[in-house]
Homo-oligomer: A and B are copies of this chain.
Amino acid sequence: MSDVAREAGVSLVTVSRVINTPEQVAPATRAAVQAVVARLGYVPNLTAGSLATSRSRIVAAIVPTIANLVFSETIEALTQTLAEGGHQLLVGQSGYRAADEAALVETFLGRRVDGLVLTGCHQPPALRVRLRQAELPVVQTWDLPEPGGAPVLDMAVGFSNVAAGAAAAGHLLGRGHRLLGFLGADEDRSRLRLQGFQAAAAAQGAEVLTALLRPPATMAQAAQRLVEMVTRQPALSAVFCNNDLLATAVLFECLRQGWDVPRRLAILGFGDLPVAELAVPPLSTVRVRRGEIGTRAGQLLLARLGHGGDAATGALAATASRVDIGFELVVRGST
């Protein structure tokens, strides 16, 4: 920067202003400095800027894994939204392990990230305390705290997985099924859906067979567990798969076994991934707007970080800091 200043015959601050607040610099001076910047190929050091302003323009997100369309679409939208606000995204993967999540948070705090996006709302107490005292904008995503549970840490975007599970059961019960299967990964959100699913089934005196797969749940596991379930309990007539990919695996397995879908076995998926609509028969599923979770999370953060916002806007954002994006039951041919 001092090279540029010298060559342009101005001081350091002027160069700084040309880069950050060009409108504050006289057009002639600005043009001269910009010419030197271009000629020298000068790239401002954002690290130094961050140190001076104590704002990194970096946001971190922690997801269980990025190799799952469910999360990657959220991250895609988040990256996009943040980029529009001039922020970059640092990604961390917890692998569904709480210890890894805590370690990642620690690293990100060290980087002085401007905000943090977490997956889920069931952080261990120690981590909750840590985040509180860090006074860092935090958005919890994907689940929303259930009444009576731990409150929102700061901001949250998601929906009630318990309600989604209940809606899934409601649909299948409405179709006359009395023995339901539940196939999902053994992780937070899936268990919440199971909770709602079981409660709704129990309320109508129906039974639920459960298969929780070790995360990350694979399609092969799903197909195998399905066959086991049906073999052991031939009365099983409907299964709720906690992810459309698992549902697709189950659908193919039925094709292989010669089981008619939905007559022999009804299949309900989750997520409404592209495959759901195109499958034969098309999959009934619970639609969740994954991208919107990322977009809203990004917007909440940007608002908090004072993008085009005065105090009033900040206050507004604060009131709306718990966003329920809901879910939608999409009934197609598989149920």
Q: Most B CB atoms within 10 A — which of A51, A58, A249, A278?
A: A278
Does A253 sit at the interface, judged by CB under 8 A? yes
Contact (Cβ within 8 A) B275 A46: no
Asked if A111 is at the interface (CB within 8 A of a chain B CB), the reply is yes
Majority secondary structure of chain A interface residues (helix, strand, loop or mixed): helix
* Per-position 1/0 for A30-57, Cβ under 8 A of B: 0000000000010111111011000010
Does any Cβ of B come within 8 Å of A149's Cβ? no
Q: Any chain B CB within 8 A of the CB of A248?
A: yes
A65 within 8 A of B: yes
Query: When the two chains form the complex, which single residue of B46, B76, B109 contacts A43, counting CB atoms closer than 8 Å?
Result: B109
Chain B residues contacting A109 (CB-CB under 8 Å) are: 43
Q: Do residues A111 and B219 form an inter-chain contact, with CB atoms below 8 A?
A: no
Q: Which of A56, A72, A112 has the most CB of B within 10 A?
A: A72
| Closest residue of B by beta carbon distance from A89 | B91
A243 → B minimal CB distance (Å): 12
Beyond known contacts A66-B76, A252-B279, A255-B280: 12 more, CB 8 A cutoff = A43-B110, A45-B51, A47-B47, A58-B90, A67-B69, A67-B72, A68-B72, A80-B93, A88-B90, A88-B108, A88-B111, A90-B90
In the complex, what residue of chain B is closest to A95 when comparing beta carbons?
B80
- Chain A: interface residue count, which band? 35 or more
Q: Bound state CA distance, A249 and B273, in angstroms?
A: 12
**A66-B66, A73-B67, A76-B93 known; A46+B274 contact, CB < 8 A:** no
Q: Mark A110-129, 1 if CB is under 8 A from B, else 0.
A: 11100000000000000000
